[in-house]
A and B are shown apart, each in its own frame.
Chain A
């Protein structure tokens, strides 16, 4: 069975600082891994997706994530936080294509201080 654990329900960083949002997964088969962002009163937007082509995945808005099989992790990073990055971030795992097989983590709310 699949599962996703996001470490830290809230993360606060200063503007310009490194953003690190942690995600660990469990999957019985090589997984597809995703990061989504949700701004207030909006739906989820895909930031990036891992499909085994490359372990370091670059996404939109300067975010990237590295797949580490040995650690079963898929942490999201951004070198320099911007105020507009403040949002809720969801890590998700899927054992196949199709949203019905996608399991979402509980989310991490990112706060960016001026």
Chain B
């Protein structure tokens, strides 16, 4: 168990640019989640995958956001035409399906849009 890893840890970009984040879940976990956390708030659910299928999307996820999980392994979250309001910590978590599901979180990617 090497844990959930996210890359990069920090990203600074200019408004209007596209950014992509990567998440590598724990290998045996079939569920993968993306959350967004802003300063002084708890994580907010964005989207989740069961294997390679994207099963739920929050209304927080605008058309500028897209997530993929090819082959049910790592996942990417892309934000197009970034806005200053996109500045936040983007957290990835993985877990296994079932009543005893436990989420394991990565350390997050801190996005700053200038």
Contact = CB atoms under 8 A, between A and B. Distances in A.
A114 B6 CA distance: 34
Contacts of B106: 43
Interface stretch (B13-21, B77-85, B94-102): B94-102
Contacts of B105: 36, 43-45
Contact of B43 (A44, A45, A46): A44
Instruction: Give the most central of B97, B102, B105: most A CB within 10 Å.
Output: B105
Contacts of A46: 102-103
Q: Which DSSP category, helix, strand, loop or mixed, fits chain A's interface?
A: mixed
B48 A97 contact: no
Interface residues of B, number: 29
Interface residues of A, number: 22
25 contacts: A42-B107, A43-B104, A43-B108, A44-B93, A44-B103, A44-B105, A46-B102, A90-B43, A92-B42, A97-B98, A97-B101, A98-B48, A98-B97, A98-B101, A99-B35, A99-B48, A99-B93, A99-B95, A99-B101, A100-B48, A102-B103, A104-B44, A106-B40, A106-B42, A107-B41
Given A102-B103, A107-B41, 17 more contacts: A4-B42, A9-B40, A41-B107, A43-B4, A44-B93, A46-B102, A98-B48, A99-B35, A99-B93, A99-B103, A100-B33, A100-B47, A100-B55, A102-B45, A104-B43, A105-B42, A107-B40
